[in-house]
Structure 1
Amino acid sequence: IVASHFNPEFLVNVKETGKVMLVDYSDLVNLKITEVSAARFLHDGGLDASGRYFMVAANASNLVAVIDTKENKLVALIESGQTPHPGRGANFVHSEFGPVWATSHLGDETVILIGTDPENHPENA
Structure 2
Amino acid sequence: MNEHKDFDRLIRNAFDDMRVSEKRKEVFIVEPFYDRKKLLRISKEKKERKVIMVMTTLAVILFNYAMSFLLGVAAALPLWAVNLTAVLFIIVSLSVIILFYGLNKLHINHKEALYP
Question: Per the shorter chain, which TM-score range?
Answer: under 0.3
Q: Max radius of gyration: which structure?
A: 2
Q: TM-score, normalised by structure 2?
A: 0.20
Instruction: Give the structure with the higher percent helix.
Output: 2
Instruction: Give the structure with the higher percent strand.
Output: 1
Higher RCO by CA contacts (8 Å cutoff, separation 6 or greater): 2
Q: TM-score, normalised by structure 1?
A: 0.19
